[in-house]
Structure 1
């Protein structure tokens, strides 16, 4: 069996690698992982790469956002599971958008957030299937589900 897992969250740390390394191998099961474009410069510039130079930073962002949103939508729709990491270091608007979209699409969703973010994420956490505090706990949930 093959499962597609979308890893929503900040792109500035190695949390995705940590999660993948923490999941125990399962005989007969293959996990495919996707997420947002992790090359920040490419993500910000993709609109200009495709459409050419834009008249200002607002249009540059708009064009890049359209392409990034299309990419995210396709991956979320194909996902069997979405894991959204909220860290304390970076603003998490894209993560919140991805998690809310996944939930609206009926995708099983695990939210990872430190206890310090309990209050600002309480409504989103209540809509997710599972909320945990650490990457290791998310891996334990996956190990249990696919045992």
Structure 2
């Protein structure tokens, strides 16, 4: 059995590579998908497809339409979602993706530091599992295949 796992969260650090490398080292049969990690492409995709927009608000709206389309398709095809709330960047997209996973009835593993317990308490209760580290998320994935 292979699983497809959607990795939701900020795109500025290499946490996705860490999960992918650890899963590969354990030979877990997992295919990973996620948001567009090329920040410039993500910000400009609306204009790439629709042409130049009249201002930054329209540019963001156009890009958001295509990014939301991509996210919804990939997340709905995924068997599981892992959402990481990191420590450095604002986590609005992570919150949106984790909430979408709940709305799509996708199993959700939430990675968040203990310091974010209070801010994410409701979302943590909706997740199937809440952990504090990437290693704990890998352990959860490993357990699925035992």
TM class, shorter-length: over 0.9
Give 3-state SS (helix, strand or coil) of 1:53's partner: coil
Q: Which residue of 2 aligns with 1:39?
A: 38
**CA displacement 1:83-118 (0-9 Å, x = unmatched):** 000011001111111111111111000000011111
Q: Which runs of 4+ in 1 moved over 6 A?
A: none
The gaps in structure 1 that reach 5 residues or longer are none
- Report how many residues are paired: 144
TM-score, normalised via structure 1 length: 0.96
C-alpha displacement at 1:15, in angstroms? 0.2
Q: Which residue of 2 aligns with 1:89?
A: 88
Q: Which residue of 2 aligns with 1:16?
A: 16
**CA displacement 1:57-97 (0-9 Å, x = unmatched):** 00000000000000000011001000000011001111111
The separation in 2 between residues aligned to 1:48 and 1:124, in whole angstroms, is 34
The separation in 1 between residues aligned to 2:20 and 2:47, in whole angstroms, is 33
The gaps in structure 2 that reach 5 residues or longer are none
The separation in 1 between residues aligned to 2:82 and 2:119, in whole angstroms, is 18
Q: Which residue of 2 aligns with 1:121?
A: 120
RMSD: 0.8
TM-score, normalised via structure 2 length: 0.96
